[in-house]
Structure 1
């Protein structure tokens, strides 16, 4: 079932989300200032490509993670989360879209504070 949901997700727009996060990670890697957020963007890209059967887990939270997440939240995280929540509401209107809406909610939460998180199998 996970494979079918992941394939549907990928074909119906997951590839766009994953590729956008991948490009964002590459842009962050090019700049010296964005380098601390690059691994988080690549993690979110992989999660955006194939989200079913995976969950977000807290890794070792430290002071650096908190500071990087706070800066991320103020500059980019809130509007990325809002984007995913708007998509989730639009998908939740239909019964078929509810599993996809739930994945967008998970992506919204991850978009708020991505540093210090990891994606693990469910």
Structure 2
């Protein structure tokens, strides 16, 4: 089921979402200060490409990760989370789109606090 979900996911926008996260990471990596944030965008980009069958484990960050998560949340995170929440809500309107909406809710969680998050 995970393989079928991932293939359908790619066809209905997974490639576009992954490309947008990758573009955000590339833009952030242009500056030296944005490199840690850009690397997190690259991590999320790979996760967005194949989300079915993977889970997010939050909360494995130290003091540096906490500081970066706070900066991320203030500057970037809330926009990413709101976008994924809106898209997830739109998918959940139909019964067929519920699994895809739930994936967007996972991305919203990861979009809020990516530092220290483990994808398994």
Instruction: State the TM-score, normalizing by the size of structure 2.
Output: 0.95
Cα deviation code 1:53-84 (max 9, x no counterpart): 00112364100000000011001101110000
Q: Note the alpha carbon deviations across 1:62-111, whole angstroms, 9 max, x for none.
A: 00000000011001101110000001111101000000000000000000
Instruction: Name the counterpart of 2:11.
Output: 11
Structure 2 CA distance for aligned equivalents of residues 60 and 81 of structure 1: 20
Structure 1 residue runs without a partner (length 5+): none
Q: CA deviation at 1:33?
A: 1.1
SS class of match (1:33): coil
- 1:79 and 2:98 equivalent? no
Provide the aligned length of Structure 1 versus Structure 2.
120
Structure 1, residues 19-51: CA drift from partner, whole Å, max 9, x if none?
A: 011111111222111011122111100111110
Corresponding residue number in structure 2 for 1:40? 40
Cα distance in 2 between the residues matched to 1:119 and 1:103: 13
Does the 8 Å CA contact 1:91/1:100 hold for their aligned counterparts?
Answer: yes
Please list every run of 5 or more consecutive structure 2 residues that lacks an aligned counterpart in the other structure: none
CA RMSD across the alignment: 1.1
Contact 1:21 1:44 in 2 (8 A): yes
2:65 is aligned to 65
